[in-house]
Each structure stands twice: as structure tokens, then as C-alpha cells.
Amino acid sequence: MKICFASLRKKINYTDVLEYGMDVFYECFRHYKDNNKEHEFTYYNFAWGSKGAERDINALKHADIVVFPAVQEFIYFADAMHPRDVEKSQAEIRKTYEYLNGKDIILLTQDRGVNEEMVMQYTFEEQVKPKSFQTIDEMDFTMCLQGLKYHYIKNYFRFPVEKKTDFVYWGSDKSKTAGGVKSNDERLEIIKSISKNEEVSSTIIGRWPKSIRIERKWVPLKETLGYLDQSYSTLCFNWIDQTAVTGRYHEAMACDVFPFVWKDYDTNDILITDEWQRCFTKDELYDKIKDIKKSDYRMIVAKTDFLKRLPSEKDYYKEFETVFNKCLKS
């Protein structure tokens, strides 16, 4: 089959892990194409290496299957960007519509707010009629595909540092979904309160309203690790689907940051070890931060349990190959 890997929005010249938000999917696809030579692989606005990504419309035109890794696709439609920037990006995507019609599309997603319905309605503006549309979600894999992040971080050398910051958070505001609809996600309120609490030292990184003091704007995870290494704890949130988990848990574990979880996050206990990790109020979180600073016992127990169940890097690549091949046969 002719398989086109298409970055429909941003140009991606992929160099290494921990540099791009969807590196777990990129690495899985790299493994897949290297081990499945019977297919022909082409690329649209994506390249392996520091240069070469081009909007090659012929790659889409001649493809049997278009693989679309959606990087935070929802933010383009959640009133989080300037309308001018959104329109500029949409103008490029509109050029692809006629070449996506009649294609088998496989969406790669790692966000609860990005699914077939959102992509068809907002990204493609209901102007694309694919032959089929399938989704490969990070949650289709053992302990979430983001488990790969643990391995990537552990393999990345950093000099040891002392922990000195009570709380760290790296991420973005998700108070609105596509269409600007309020999501009822609580993280904005919680992170704002933590950032203003003078008794809790904190480092906030990412895309947030001006009401929150941030250390850095959105930066590659590789540049964030130094802040994680010197922090004691974080808090994991999810939105839309509380049974799902997020990469923050795996990333925290790799940096010995204790992963507290907010309320019903991971209701199926895919990742968490102890219900004690759950926090239902800010005051409860503050009290528990004091506890984990006094002793590393709970961190050791949680990490030991986590590692007993975490697949190896090789196992994740095999699992992706199985899932992807299933899509090709459907």
C-alpha cells in the first residue's frame, strides 16, 4: 500500500525524542516503516531529520492511506489562538481537501478533545468525504502509549540536582473545547490557586492566561526536564474522559516527581498505585505535598508498582505494529 504520513498543519522536521509533543507516535511509525518494507511510505509536511519537510500535494494525491498525527488540534478551535493564525493554517488545509476525499484516513491522537467528530467538523469543515476513517488513540496501548516517554526520559542524560520546588506543572489551559464551548475542566482554577499560594513553591510551564505567572511558555519536553528534576510533586488532570490517563504521569515518574491525581482521573486505576494519590481539594493537595517532602516512601512504592507493569520500549513498538496492521486490514 501507499501510505502517506501527513502533518497537515505545522511543518515537522523530526529530529529526536523529547523534542516534539507526538514523539511517541513518530517513533512508533518510524519503527513500523523500517519493519514493513512491503509498503511504500511518503510524507506530506513531515520529514525524518532536520530539514526536508514539504507540502508535497502529490504525496496525498497518490496515497491509498493518509495517516494524520493531530498535534493539539483542538486549540485551533477553542478560542486559544488569534483568528488570523487559525485562518492562515486552515487555508493550507483547505488545499488538501480534494486529495483527502475517497482516502482511508487514520487519525493518531493523544488528546481527549481530538477525535473523528472534531476533525471532520472543524479541521475538515465537513468538506472531506473519506473512504474510511479510523482512529489510533494513545489509550489503545498498555498503560497508554505515553509509557514510551518514561523510557525516553530515563535514557536522556542529565546531571543530578537537589529537589527544591514543591510543585511543578507543564501543560495548557483546557477550559474550552472545539467551538469555544466550556469544558468544565478544573485545572485552570487549580493551577491559578497553586501559583498564587505563597506557602507552596511552584513552577508553571506552558500555555496559560496572563492571570497565571509562568516560568516558561511552551517548550520541548527536553527543556522542561530540569524543572521536573528539581520538583517534588505534580497533579494529573484529564478532561472529557476520566477513564483515560495522560503522559504527565509517566513523565513525572521518570523524574521522581510524585504524581498526584485530581479527583476521578484514571478511574480504572490503570496507572495509580494507591487511592492516597487522589486529591479532591486544594487543601488536601497541600497537606499531601508536605507528606511526600518528609519521606520518599510513597514515591518508592508508587514507582516500584509502576515499573512492574510498564511495557518495554520494544514491546510498545510491537503493540503499535499490531494496532496499525489491524487498521490496514479493516
pLDDT for 81 equals 86
Indicate left, alpha or beta for 266 from its phi (over 0: left) and psi (-120 to 50: alpha): left
> What pLDDT is stored for residue 95 in this prediction?
97
pLDDT of residue 169: 97
Residue 130: per-residue pLDDT: 97
pLDDT at 78: 83
**Confidence at residue 182, expressed as pLDDT on a 0 to 100 scale:** 79
The per-residue pLDDT of the chain, averaged, comes to 95
d(CA 308, CA 297): 17
Query: Confidence band (pLDDT; 50, 70, 90) for 242?
Result: confident
Residue 329 CA to residue 94 CA, distance in Å, equals: 29
Q: What span, in angstroms and rounded, lies between the C-alpha atoms of 175 and 155? A: 34
Please report the pLDDT score of residue 180 as a whole number: 77
> How far is it, in rounded angstroms, from Cα 6 to Cα 46?
6
- pLDDT of 173: 84
pLDDT tens, position by position, 116-139: 999 999 999 999 999 999 999 999
Tell me if 188 sits within 8 A of 209, measured CB to CB: yes
Intra-chain end-to-end CA distance of the chain, in Å: 14
Q: Are the C-beta atoms of residues 77 and 178 closer than 8 Å to each other? A: yes
Indicate the pTM of the whole model. 0.94
Q: What domains can be seen in the chain, in order of their start residue?
A: 2-142+312-329 (3.40.50), 155-309 (3.40.50.2000)
202-207 and 258-262 as β-strands: parallel, antiparallel, unpaired? unpaired
CB 184 within 8 A of CB 46: no
* Model pLDDT for residues 139-149, shown as the tens digit of each residue: 999 999 999 99
Q: Give pLDDT, residue 319.
A: 98
pLDDT confidence bin for 205, thresholds 50/70/90: very high
For 160-196, the pLDDT digits (tens) are 999 999 999 999 887 877 777 777 789 999 999 999 9
132 DSSP assignment: E
pLDDT digits (tens, 9 = 90+) for 61-103: 999 999 999 988 988 998 878 999 999 999 999 999 999 999 9
Q: What is the predicted pLDDT for the residue at 113?
A: 85
Cβ atoms 44, 97 nearer than 8 A: no
Model pLDDT for residues 34-48, shown as the tens digit of each residue: 999 999 999 999 999
Residue 321: what pLDDT?
A: 98
Distance CA 249, CA 40 (A): 36
What residue has cell string 510524507?
43
Which residues are within 8 A (CB) of 103 and not within 5 positions of it... i.e. 6 or more apart? Answer: 60, 63, 64, 65, 66, 130, 131
